[in-house]
Amino acid sequence: MPLTAINHYLIRSEDLEQSRAFYEDVLGMSQIPRPDFPFPGYWLGVSGAAQVHLAPGGIENASLYFLGSPPGVATQHSGVIDHVAFLASEPKNFVEHLKEKGVAFRPRYLAESNLFQLFVQDPDGVTVEINFFDVDSTADWGGEDYKALPKVS
């Protein structure tokens, strides 16, 4: 009974419209149908998969709607979540797109896995990891060499 894919994650956003714009304009997601919940929000995805659900922070009756957000939960940045990762293609175009949008990113390369990664932050401080497999060189895009990072003993 293994897990097979991510279905969605929900972000309680401090600025719903700014977060929606980030996921649409920067990550290329589009709105998908959302049930008529008793609170505002968006469902965003790519081809019906890789979904991000956005809901507002600081609303009345939040404990009724958001089962993963008990009172006193962290309201700045991503709380206990470190990052969320997506697969992507065309790394060169993605790097150029981020630069055009003025979005800061941190590139990383894992040569032994032929994996190039970009790390960006959404407007709520959630780190989004974008993975590109089968990349054999990052000469044009830079990025820290993961193997060269200090090891924890």
Please tell me the predicted confidence (pLDDT) of residue 97.
93
pLDDT band at residue 31 under the 50/70/90 scheme: very high
Q: What is the largest CA-CA distance in the chain?
A: 51
pLDDT band at residue 70 under the 50/70/90 scheme: low
Q: Which domains does the chain have, with CATH numbers?
A: 8-148 (3.10.180.10)
| Cβ atoms of 135 and 115 closer than 8 Å | yes
DSSP conformation class of 125 = S
Q: Please list the residues that pair with 17 across neighbouring strands.
A: none
Q: Among candidates 149, 143, 139, 150, which has minimal Cα distance to 129?
A: 143
Q: Among candidates 6, 10, 47, 39, which has minimal Cα distance to 19?
A: 10
Query: At residue 78, does pLDDT exceed 60?
Result: no
Q: Which amino acid is at 64?
A: L
Hey, what are 45's tokens? 């995805």
DSSP conformation class of 57 = S
| Average confidence score pLDDT of the chain | 81
**Phi and psi at residue 27, to the nearest 5°:** -100, -5
Please tell me the predicted confidence (pLDDT) of residue 26.
95
- Asked whether the whole model's pTM tops 0.95, one would answer no
Residue 133, SS3 per DSSP: strand
Q: Among candidates 59, 118, 62, which has minimal Cα distance to 94?
A: 118
Q: Among candidates 125, 99, 138, which has minimal Cα distance to 19?
A: 125
Torsion of CA 115, 127, 5, 51, to 10 degrees: -130
What number is the average pLDDT over the span 103-119? 87
